[in-house]
A and B are shown apart, each in its own frame.
Chain A
Amino acid sequence: MENKTRKYRWTVLGLLFVAFATVPIWGSDYLLLFCLLYCLYLGMAQMWNLLVGYSGLLSLGQQAFIGFSGYSVAVLTNYYGVYIWLSVFLGGLFSVLLALFMSLFIFRMKGIYFAIGTWIFAEMLLLWFSNWPYVKYGTGLFIKPAHPPSMTAIYYAAFIMGAGALAVVYTILRSRIGLGLMAMRDDEEVSETMGVEIFRSKLFCFLVAAFVTGLTAGVLYVFQIFIQPYKAFAIDWTVVLVFIVIIGGIGTIEGPIVGAFLYVLFSQYLAEYAHISLLLLGIIAITIILVAPKGIMGTLQEKTGFVILSPRRILADQ
């Protein structure tokens, strides 16, 4: 029985994968845009979920990586003429370097101190970039590659990020590290006694999240063409990630899949009323935390046992 439902799940996932992979062929321009944004937010939200939902690292500073990577792309393509996708990749690497540097400070902090520490780093980067002549202060930079990539190319890059982030999270959680992370989430002290290398696992997840978030943000800025410090390093990014993960279900792989869809849908409808949409996002997020703290997918799993991608292992084969 278990095997059959599992096969069924993989078929559904395979069909979804093919559907997303072929959107540029059959979809309208609007649908393509929608799927592009969906994939990008899915990538970033999966990473935030990996940090908060699985590794116990409440980061309020993902915008540090988003902005840093976006600026790397802008500077590399504009000032050095680096090939656009290579600069996106380098942007991801720079994010990892930034994460390594940040970890020197913030990995000495725990819980709330860690959360505020990450936020302060993002704020410092915002101040630094908005005062830095090299990147034209707060006015921002246009990303002008010699050969601008087509919308289809950008879509596939975004698709790789969305599907890739999903695969990365799934692989990590199914691995030894993931097992350790989940043990740690349940009881940090006991798991440490049992030999889980907490510090290294956490750092590993932090760096992976920085890399994927950086890459995803790079693709986002290739799409947006323009980067400006007050937007790139804004706390609004974290607001969006919190919303996506909370509404979908924190600590589930399916949560961000559902949450990102709802967010993109929501933001498209309210695109013209930016602050009303943030106001509503805040109200919805608080209501969800108070009423159904496990989010849509978490509550569904609890009530019906419905899972698409479970990081759990089944001990005995039926």
Chain B
Amino acid sequence: MEGLMQPILNGILLGGLYAVIAIGMSTIFGIVKLVNLAHGDLMILSGYLSLVLITWLGISPIVSLLLVVPVMFFVGVFVQGVLLNRVLGKEMEPPLLVAFGLSIIVQNFLLLVFTPDARSLMTDLAVKTIPLGATLNLPVLYLADFLIGVVVIFAVYLFFRNTYLGRAIRAASDDEVGARIMGVNTKLIYAYAMGIAMMTAAVAGVLVGMTFTFYPHTGPQYLIIAFGVVIIGGLGSMKGCLVGGLILALAQLLGAHFTGPGYQLLFGYAVLLIVLGVRPQGLFGKI
């Protein structure tokens, strides 16, 4: 039992990070009814962007967010406004395939520019831990991931609840025709929504880059994590995002604790498939 405390603690903290990874995808899923298959890759793109900034300017990854987040906002507006908005319609395949194509483009572009080497965003937080007992340690980096994750999710929640743009986005999502009649430019609104989703992806990308190593091909792995969180927690639910993140991270770390790290991801996927089979709308989703 003693040995279980560490993976449980790490799982909870990692759950916060998983929630930020997923929040952007969940938002777009809920508002534009679109699964952004390039979400993971655009997240990793932010990681590389931050890498370039910290090498050029010698700043810390957290400070680089000041630049990476606005840049990713415009990337998101561009992706939605120029590519995805043009194929939105009755059928679900075209937007999905465009996003898939985008994912391939981003991956191979990164491969071309940055080579397949493993990268990470160096911080001095990485080695610090706070001892909580004889065998239990609190990794500071994981704690930072968790806290930043919770802050981001709360900020997104407040944005959608309290700002004009946030309410307009929700209105466009609830009743597209109605919103258009009331003078809302829904296509533009979707572009802003993607911009905001990409801002969260930027934070997620930098946190992931600080916590783990990443390669040009790491994107799909995080896409599946994001998707898992969204599925477990339920569509478009902020609370679901946090709980889904916790469950997925705990399943992975406890799985790894019992069987070795090679199978860590396998446990996450298995939990995901079970939830999909048993309760497809997720724990907090409406049918």
A residues lining the B interface (CB < 8 Å): 52, 58, 60, 104-106, 108-109, 111-113, 115-117, 119-121, 123-124, 127-128, 130-131, 235, 239, 242, 246, 250, 275-276, 278-279, 281-283, 285-286, 289-290, 293
Contacts and interface: CB of A to CB of B under 8 A. Distances in A.
A289 B87 contact: yes
Interface of B: 35, 83, 86-87, 92-94, 96-98, 100-105, 107-109, 111-112, 220, 224, 227, 231, 262-263, 265-266, 269-270, 272-273, 276-277, 280
A105 B108 contact: no
Given A116-B35, A275-B112, A124 B270 contact: yes
26 contacts: A52-B93, A104-B277, A108-B277, A109-B276, A115-B96, A116-B35, A116-B227, A116-B231, A117-B276, A123-B265, A124-B270, A127-B262, A128-B266, A131-B263, A131-B266, A239-B104, A242-B97, A242-B101, A246-B97, A250-B93, A279-B105, A282-B108, A285-B104, A289-B101, A290-B83, A293-B87
A44 to B, nearest CB: 17
Given A52-B93, A108-B277, A124 B104 contact: no
A290 B97 contact: no
A236 B100 CA distance: 11
B286 to A, nearest CB: 15
A117 B274 CA distance: 11
B273 A105 contact: yes
A279 B269 contact: no
A293 B98 CA distance: 11
Given A113-B280, A115-B96, A293-B87, A278 B220 contact: no
Given A123-B265, A289-B98, A293-B94, 17 more contacts: A58-B92, A104-B277, A105-B273, A108-B277, A113-B231, A120-B224, A123-B269, A124-B270, A128-B266, A235-B220, A282-B102, A282-B104, A285-B97, A286-B83, A286-B105, A289-B97, A290-B86
A126 B104 CA distance: 19
B266 A282 contact: no
Most A-side CB within 10 Å, residue of B103, B104, B105 = B104
Contacts of A123: 220, 224, 265, 269
A121 B267 CA distance: 12
Contacts of B35: 112, 115-116
A130 to B, nearest CB: 8
Given A58-B93, A112-B92, A276-B108, A131 B262 contact: yes
A271 B65 CA distance: 38
A235 B101 CA distance: 12
B111 A286 contact: no
A120 B104 contact: no
A285 to B, nearest CB: 5
B117 to A, nearest CB: 14
A286 B109 contact: no
Contacts of A52: 93
Contact of B108 (A104, A242, A275): A275
B105 A127 contact: no
